[in-house]
């Protein structure tokens, strides 16, 4: 893992040469460009800031990656324009990748929720996808929008993580049932509420 408050671009620029590298984790660094090794299986980015060029590179990687199965951007939310770029690339990755995938993201604004809901509705995966959303501070209306988008998918498990009032959790679960989505049980209890796609639940 690379960490610290520096520009990590000079370091990551050599990573595509490391053919044995399958997992990359960066924490608290800035990237002005991001030449991502195409052979990565796991990518974890914690409190990483990006230039516009670097976020374009991340989105392009997601849209074309042949191997990635795990993406973690959940520790801190990206600025809305950057998050929208990344979310826009998710359907291409998840629809094409022929293996189970795991996605963890932070969605903290209604604008980002709208972009993520669009990405969900456009995803046509043939394999299991698990999505965990760090959603503290997200409105109930935005969460309902994401649940409604999940109802258009198959083989996707969606989980909201973050403390929510019991009434809000109950309202979200009821809304899920209206869309034929049923709860995904989690030991974290009040800190988590989750749903499965209708196709997944039916199986």
Structural domains of the chain ordered from first start? 1-40+47-68 (no CATH), 69-203 (3.80.10)
Per-residue pLDDT of the chain (203 residues; tens, 9 = 90+): 655 568 889 989 998 888 889 999 999 999 999 999 889 999 999 999 999 999 999 999 999 998 999 999 998 889 999 999 999 999 999 998 888 999 999 998 999 999 999 999 999 998 999 999 999 889 999 999 999 999 999 999 999 998 778 899 999 999 999 999 977 655 555 568 999 998 654 44
Supply the pLDDT for residue 187. Answer: 54
Strand order in the sheet with 129-134: 2-3, 23-27, 42-46, 70-73, 101-106, 129-134, 156-161, 192-196
pTM here?
A: 0.90
Supply the pLDDT for residue 165. Answer: 86
Question: In the numeric block, which tokens belong to residue 92?
Answer: 């291409």
């Amino acid at each position: 893992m690379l960490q610290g408050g520096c520009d990590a671009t000079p370091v990551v620029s050599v990573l595509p040469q490391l053919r044995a590298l399958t997992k990359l984790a960066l924490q608290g660094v800035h990237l002005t460009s991001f030449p991502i090794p195409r052979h990565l299986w796991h990518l974890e980015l914690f409190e990483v800031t990006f230039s516009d060029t670097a976020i374009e590179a991340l989105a392009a990687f997601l849209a074309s990656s042949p191997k990635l199965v795990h993406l973690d951007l959940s520790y801190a939310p990206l600025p809305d324009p950057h998050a929208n770029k990344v979310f826009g690339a998710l359907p291409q990755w998840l629809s094409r990748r022929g293996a189970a995938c795991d996605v963890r993201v932070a969605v903290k604004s209604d604008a980002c929720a709208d972009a993520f809901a669009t990405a969900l509705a456009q995803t046509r995966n043939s394999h299991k996808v698990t999505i965990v959303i760090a959603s503290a501070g997200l409105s109930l209306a935005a969460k309902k929008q994401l649940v409604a988008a999940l109802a258009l998918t198959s083989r996707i498990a969606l989980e909201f993580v973050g403390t929510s009032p019991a009434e809000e959790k109950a309202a979200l679960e009821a809304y899920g049932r209206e869309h034929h989505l049923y709860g995904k049980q989690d030991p974290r209890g009040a800190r988590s509420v989750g749903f499965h796609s209708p196709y997944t639940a039916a199986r």
